[in-house]
Amino acid sequence: MQIDMRIMELLASKLCHDLVSPVSAINNGVELIEDIGGSVVEEAMKLIGDSGAKAARRLKMYRLAYGRAGSEENLGLKDVRQVASQYLSDTKITIVWPDDLPDPALGSNRGFLKVILNLIILAEEVLAYGGVITLSNIRPSDENKGGCRVEAVGRNASLNKAMQGAVEATVSIEELSARTIQAYVTGRFAEHFRYKLSFDQSIPDRLDLSLSLGYVAVEVDLEAKTEQEIVSESVSEISL
């Protein structure tokens, strides 16, 4: 998977934007203690503690969603679920992730949980007014071996045209922005690990993001690639 420099820049901008608030709050807490002293120490320490915890929660999520750690085959489902839950704990969004999801046979596939985390981040972006993110199983069919659905329900929960184009890679790199980079990265991770990603927003205020594992296409694609191409894709993956 070749990574364009603009993609790296936009993703870095997103990470910095999401982390600048809690990190700045830590700095503000330190300044309160230095400027005023004893009377606000307790308040300042609480601000520092809460902001530090928020930054740590986001960094853990980003490490798995974007970094090499999320691509490991022995990724623990319980740990991933906890990271996602903590990531959303200080937002207006509630996540419902049943203990038995996804099916262990699916969750053990390389990169499957990584893409699920990216779908959750994407779902968070479309729930600007808050809402509920629910995970459910997709049963095996003639078209796929099953998968996982991430459902986002809330006011105006949908992908706009720019996001749709980013997910499907029907827009040029130059057309991407900080608002669409998550949609683009999510779609490319799904492609990289050879999963099928689709979305349905036919119901108002509801976005369904479906990730499934195909049958023949996966085996054919693997056989069609040379060892050098596979190694090249692995080296190109974002590493944090």
**Candidate CATH numbers 3.40.50.300, 3.40.1160.10, 3.30.565.10, 3.40.309.10; the one for domain 5-236:** 3.30.565.10
Q: What value does the mean pLDDT take over residues 224-231?
A: 43
Any idea of the CA torsion for 181, 187, 190, 193, to the nearest 10 degrees?
-70
- Look up the pTM and report it: 0.81
* Spatial strand order in the sheet of 196-200: 93-96, 131-138, 144-153, 206-214, 196-200
For the chain, how far is it from start to end, CA to CA, in angstroms? 16
Q: What value does the mean pLDDT take over residues 94-110?
A: 91
Would you place residue 1 in the very low, low, confident or very high pLDDT band (cuts 50, 70, 90)?
A: low
- Bond preceding residue 102 cis, omega within 30 of 0: yes
Residue 35 or residue 58, greater confidence:
58
Give the per-residue pLDDT at 203: 97
Supply the mean pLDDT for the chain. 85
Residue 223 or residue 214, greater confidence:
214
Which residues 6+ apart lie within 8 Å of 223 measured at CB? none
Q: What value does the mean pLDDT take over residues 25-49?
A: 76
- Contact criterion met (CB below 8 Å) for 41 and 16: no
Residue 180 or residue 221, greater confidence:
180
Residue 231 has pLDDT above 50, yes or no: no
Give the per-residue pLDDT at 37: 66
Would you place residue 20 in the very low, low, confident or very high pLDDT band (cuts 50, 70, 90)?
A: confident
Give the per-residue pLDDT at 114: 95
- Contact criterion met (CB below 8 Å) for 3 and 66: no
Give the per-residue pLDDT at 161: 97
Ordered by start, the domain boundaries in the chain are 5-236
Q: How far apart are CA 45 and CA 26, in angstroms?
A: 9
Q: What value does the mean pLDDT take over residues 65-75?
A: 87
Please write the tens of the pLDDT for every residue from 149-171: 999 999 999 999 999 999 999 99
* Phi, psi (deg, nearest 5) at residue 203: -95, 125
- Contact criterion met (CB below 8 Å) for 64 and 114: yes
